[in-house]
Structure 1
Amino acid sequence: MDEKNDAINQNLNPIKRNSLAHQNLRFALIACKNDLLNTASLALITIQIWDVDKDLYWCTSCPSQLPTHQRIDYPFESRNEYVYKAAILDLKTNHIYGEVILFNRFKQENIFGQLAATQCAEMISQKINDEPKRCLSIHAYSNQYEIKINHHPVLLTPRQFEIICILILNPMGLSLEQLHFYLYEDENISLNTLKSEISYLKNKVGELICARTYQIQAQVFADFKQFEEALDAGYLDTIRALDQGDYFTKCRSPFLRNWQQILRIRIQNLLG
């Protein structure tokens, strides 16, 4: 039993580390997104951000997706295109979070290409090392949920809890209309009602929720996300150990209920 638990913990540790690294990279990209898009537009270049696992994480051609849903091979140098690369580093520890890859759309050499790639990487690195971020931990398993901000419990209404979970699963943020649909779908509830709900929620969690595009601004540790990441990684023993029932059992949100159904189908397909 101890050996099995050790194996599960060994699988969970890289999941936690990768999750934290991706969250830090995500925060930085959200903060830098407009600057990166402006740079790409003015210089007629494409900017790609690859994570430490050599997976495409974000691209100026699909700026609303983070992480991107594109699946392409890691770019290598070729005679037909000029590729410039620069590592994204933690300025304090030199930990590598990923890589900026920049190439010209017209496949023409740009003498400032390497400088631009380096500057983009440094801009992202600086954002990673900005002020400490808030920590949000959330447990959505079974009928009892628990949410803490900076390790302090916070009491939320069921709807407020659902809003937090929906935003966690949509890290690039949602418009008011999108959030309304994910939360209520066809229920006859006005946008003003949702605005009031968000206002009450922000009174409890402060700047945890960003305005305009509603999104979570915190390091997130959520049991349902950890399970999803174990499923993505294919850690069978970890999945079996963590799979003790459904999440969001009392949630009314169509989006969360659909997410749980898809998760259950993925588990059945993987475990048989």
Structure 2
Amino acid sequence: MSATIRVAEHAGACYGVNRALELARRCALEHEEPVHTLGPLIHNPIVVEELAEQGVGLSQSLDEIDRGSVIIRSHGVVPQVIEDAQARGLSVVDATCPYVKKVHKAASNLVHEGYDLIIVGESGHPEVEGIVGHAEGKAHVVASPQDLDGLTLGKRVGVVVQTTQTAANLSAVVAALAPLVSELRVVNTICAATSERQRAAASLASEADIMIVVGGKNSGNTRRLAQICHVACPKTHHIEDAAELDRSWFDGARLIGITAGASTPQAHIERVVSAIEHMTAQS
């Protein structure tokens, strides 16, 4: 009996990523001067290479860009970066995900209202760094309840969360935080697309004999999908491209599940499906 290949109900590029890609490609087509993203537009090395072929370069700092347009990555930046770019005479295209902008606003509001701010997320992640910047640097970043140890907090604490975190992790931090303060205000800024992909991946992994998770190895949300899948399906493999697939992975598999991170275009998922179909048809 041949294997069944099933893609999770919710998988692949989200609205914010598709919007950023459209803005970047349109900018490259419409502008004769150089076009650069400030840092990778999204966390997907293959997409970054594809953008370069379409005329969208990659710069790690504004010092590398002397003219043309600079595209702000989907993860957002601290406000001073946009101000600096404009002061240098660069044309700024803001591809920050609208859902990330909501976190910026929530963080700023909580700080201005006098709350000590907790950001649940990965320290050093570009999105988190941008959130800290919009909180004027007045924030504590915690990845888990253990990171609360040793923090000096006031009685009024506000919480926002990196858009790609899991609801379970947010709940764990909030549960640990609640006994420590007298007033706790939580703004759940997890993106709905992230939650949908995590639920759909977990559901499929619970049935599948093997799970393939497609997306950048540097993508936090894709790594979390792989972790979620691995709990239910130990034979989970995180790949960036179909070339990484190994035919032996599928020996004896009846149901092969596929999911993909929010930075993975549909075309990349389709390449993986096609490659697996070819491999399993030959076995």
Please report the TM-score for the alignment, with normalisation by the length of structure 2.
0.25
Please report the TM-score for the alignment, with normalisation by the length of structure 1.
0.26
Higher relative contact order (CA 8 A, sep 6+): 2
